[in-house]
Amino acid sequence: MAAHGLPDNRKGLRTGYTTGACAAAAAKAATRVLVIGALLSDIETTLPNRTRARFALARCERAGLRAICSIIKDAGDDPDCTNGAEVIAEVELRMEPGIEIRGGSGVATVTKAGLGLEVGGPAINPVPRRNMTEMVQEELTASPYRGAVVTITVPGGEEMAKHTTNARLGLIGGISILGTTGIVRPYSTAAFKASVMQEIEVAAANGLRELVLTTGGKSEQYAMALHAHLPEQSFIQVGDFIGVGVKHCARRNIARVIIVGMMGKLSKMAAGKMQTHAAGSEVDMEFLSSLAADLGASQELIGAIRQANTARHVLELCRTAGLVGITSRICQQVTEHCSRHAGGTLPIQVCLVDFSGALLGRYPEAAE
């Protein structure tokens, strides 16, 4: 049993707790068991955002100077692959001062630079690490012990990690222990933006100078076929956050960016939308009809585009009418908007592919 999710947010979705919050609470509980010499059923802890939360313990055991406590992660209504994971903390007390935090099975090992974590160490991010240290230290204050070794394990973590970008980031063998506030907010845009920036950081730290930004799994698959000479780490799914992606690439002095996408997302970018989520930006049919008009489209086609249902429908209308230049024009518009958004110095090429991966348009044609 996990802690109850926090009150519903404004969208009516239940918030939950991060792996880091669960790990810190489990570590605090295991330390208390050793200090007071009694088993517990739950534990109250302080989250990184300084609010208090109470967690039910799924497991609480003691063996000599070691105790093991676990918490079942409740991610609320967030579609998180670690929801329901058992986060286990094993604590062993020491007379020597200092809290040592280790990663056990199911917690990834860091193998690449650029994450702000020690290469060869566990993928336990700085905020959860600090939160764990503070919570364990709180329990040690009234005891003769001055230090502890905390080992975090997550059964099944290696399987869960297959649903994340961990392997591409060089985080091998499990999940990361994450969380900057301790709270998981459903469909967290902040988390996704942070993930995009982190992938760019790792690519830059590993010396990659050319990155390919895509809007999803399918466009990434097609991008990899188009640019097969580039290593997998060069490909970064930015989702709806193309603006975040290009800005961070410029900040990290990436030499060149290639954007690969399909008609719908690229049409939004061509109209200047640097955040392309469906709820926040619809495809602008008036804009697409004006592009067609600039290319000499007939009044009949212009009118049909204005009444089109989707960007894909626009593509079909243009193809039927023989107006092939619209795809390259969209790519040109995307290049110009993204370059301006990134500060004007980042070389960008844009490729538009169809739903089978065929290249329909590119701008500029040659690499800059």
127 lies in the same domain as 33: yes
Domain end (from 166, 184, 202): 184
pLDDT at 358: 94
Q: How far apart are CA 301 and CA 307, in angstroms?
A: 10
142 found inside a domain: yes
Q: Which helix (H) or strand (E) holds 43?
A: strand 42-46
156 found inside a domain: yes
84 lies in the same domain as 130: yes
173 lies in the same domain as 246: no
65 lies in the same domain as 138: yes
1 found inside a domain: no
- Which residue type occupies 336? E
pLDDT at 185: 67
Burial of 38 (0-12, 13-18, 19+ CB in 10 A): exposed
196 lies in the same domain as 229: yes
The torsion angles phi and psi of 284, rounded to 5 degrees, stand at -90, 100
Domain end (from 167, 184, 201): 184
Tokens found for residue 114: 């650029």
195 lies in the same domain as 173: no
Q: Indicate the number of domains in the chain.
A: 2
Domain end (from 156, 184, 212): 184
Residue 197 contacts by C-beta under 8 Å, 6 or more apart in sequence?
A: 244, 248
298: domain range?
A: 189-363
pLDDT at 186: 62
Question: What's the CATH number where 155 sits?
Answer: 3.30.2110.10
Q: How far apart are CA 235 and CA 358, in angstroms?
A: 18
Q: Which helix (H) or strand (E) holds 211?
A: strand 210-214
**Each residue's pLDDT tens digit in the chain (368 positions)?**
345 444 444 345 678 899 999 999 999 999 999 999 999 999 999 999 999 999 999 999 998 889 999 999 998 877 678 989 999 999 999 999 999 999 999 999 999 877 778 999 999 999 999 999 999 999 999 899 999 999 999 999 999 999 887 888 889 999 999 888 888 766 557 777 888 999 999 999 999 999 999 988 889 999 999 999 999 999 999 988 999 999 999 999 999 999 999 999 999 999 998 887 655 557 889 999 999 999 999 999 999 999 987 888 999 999 999 998 999 999 999 999 999 999 999 999 999 999 889 999 999 986 54
β 210-214/256-261 pair status: parallel
Rounded to two decimals, the pTM is 0.68
345 found inside a domain: yes
100 found inside a domain: yes
pLDDT at 8: 44
Residue 207 contacts by C-beta under 8 Å, 6 or more apart in sequence?
A: none
pLDDT at 277: 67
Q: How far apart are CA 46 and CA 328, in angstroms?
A: 54
195 found inside a domain: yes
368 found inside a domain: no
301 lies in the same domain as 265: yes
pLDDT at 5: 47
Please report which residue ranges of the chain form alpha helices under DSSP H.
19-36, 126-140, 157-160, 166-169, 189-205, 217-226, 242-251, 263-270, 285-294, 299-306, 311-321, 326-341
159 lies in the same domain as 198: no
Residue 100: name the closest of 150, 175, 65, 41 by CA. 150
